[in-house]
């Protein structure tokens, strides 16, 4: 077992040295305090974003959000909104927002190796007009998240190039996640319970997106 107490990096100077020194001044210029035209265009094409939040004690959660491209509404260069739709009701991220309003978003476009990072202060709303604006399959969103943007910048493509994420020929077979198997084992159930749970999950996917 590796000794986790050895070779700790505990100060910024050492940390910066280990990554090769300070960033080039030009790199710092890509970080903005608002959404420019390129960022707004990227958001308009993105069908998937990850929302990172922390609770009052600093424990993090990351929640995926997906919908039709452009499902995130850019109200203006410093304000954006995203819908919260039917889920598992754990609402960990939403609870975090109530106690710690700082959050970050990572926008992804399939086939594009660069990503967009946006962070700022978020609040949760149930304004009827906003929820109706986010209506999908005949149903309004049940909540909306509003972000007041503090920071915005594009992240380079190295992670996607290293992972070959968009190269279909490198993909493994789909990893099968059976909630029936997971829950039945924890609840002392049998194969019949596993099948019933998986059937309910499949039905939920068909009817409650």
Residues 52 and 75 in one domain: yes
Model pLDDT, residue 104: 98
**How many other C-beta atoms are found inside a 10 Å radius of the C-beta of residue 194?**
19
Model pLDDT, residue 80: 98
- pLDDT tens sequence for the chain (209 residues): 889 888 899 999 999 999 999 999 988 999 999 999 999 999 999 999 999 999 999 999 999 999 999 999 999 999 999 999 988 899 999 999 999 999 999 999 999 999 999 999 999 999 999 999 999 888 999 999 999 999 999 999 999 999 999 999 999 999 999 999 999 999 999 999 999 999 999 999 998 88
Residues 83 and 184 in one domain: no
CB 151 within 8 A of CB 139: no
Q: Give 76-89 pLDDT, tens digit per residue.
A: 999 999 999 988 89
- Total domains in the chain come to 2
151-161 burial, b at 16+ Cβ within 10 Å, e below that, comes to: ebbbeeeeebe
Residues 34 and 116 in one domain: yes
What backbone torsions phi and psi does residue 48 show, to the nearest 5 degrees? -150, 130
Model pLDDT, residue 126: 96
Distance in angstroms (rounded) separating the CA atoms of residues 171 and 119: 31
Distance in angstroms (rounded) separating the CA atoms of residues 66 and 69: 9
Distance in angstroms (rounded) separating the CA atoms of residues 158 and 16: 19
3-state secondary structure of 74: strand
For the chain, the maximum distance between any two Cα atoms, rounded to a whole number of angstroms, is 61
Model pLDDT, residue 138: 86
Residues 101 and 45 in one domain: yes
Residues 129 and 180 in one domain: no
Q: Where are the beta strands (DSSP E) in 94-133?
A: 102-108, 115-125
What backbone torsions phi and psi does residue 25 show, to the nearest 5 degrees? -55, -30
Which residue segment(s) compose the domain that 146 sits in? 19-163
């Amino acid at each position: 077992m590796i000794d986790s107490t050895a070779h700790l990096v505990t100060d910024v100077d050492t940390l910066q040295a280990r990554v090769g020194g300070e960033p080039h001044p030009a790199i710092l210029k890509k970080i903005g305090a608002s959404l420019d035209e390129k960022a707004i265009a990227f958001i308009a094409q993105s069908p998937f974003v990850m929302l990172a939040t922390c609770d009052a004690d600093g424990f993090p959660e990351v929640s995926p959000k997906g919908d039709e491209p452009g499902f995130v509404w850019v109200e203006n260069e410093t304000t954006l909104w995203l819908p919260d739709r039917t889920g598992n009701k754990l609402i960990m991220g939403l609870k975090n927002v109530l106690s710690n309003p700082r959050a970050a978003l990572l926008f992804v476009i399939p086939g594009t190796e660069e990503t967009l990072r946006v962070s700022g202060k978020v609040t949760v709303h149930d304004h009827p007009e906003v929820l109706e604006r986010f209506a999908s399959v005949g149903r309004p969103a049940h909540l909306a998240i509003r972000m007041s943007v503090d920071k915005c910048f594009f992240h380079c493509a190295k992670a996607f190039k290293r992972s070959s994420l968009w190269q279909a020929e490198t993909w493994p077979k789909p990893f099968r996640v059976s909630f029936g198997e997971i829950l039945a084992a924890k609840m002392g159930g049998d194969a019949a319970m596993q099948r019933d749970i998986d059937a309910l999950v499949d039905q939920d996917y068909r009817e409650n997106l």
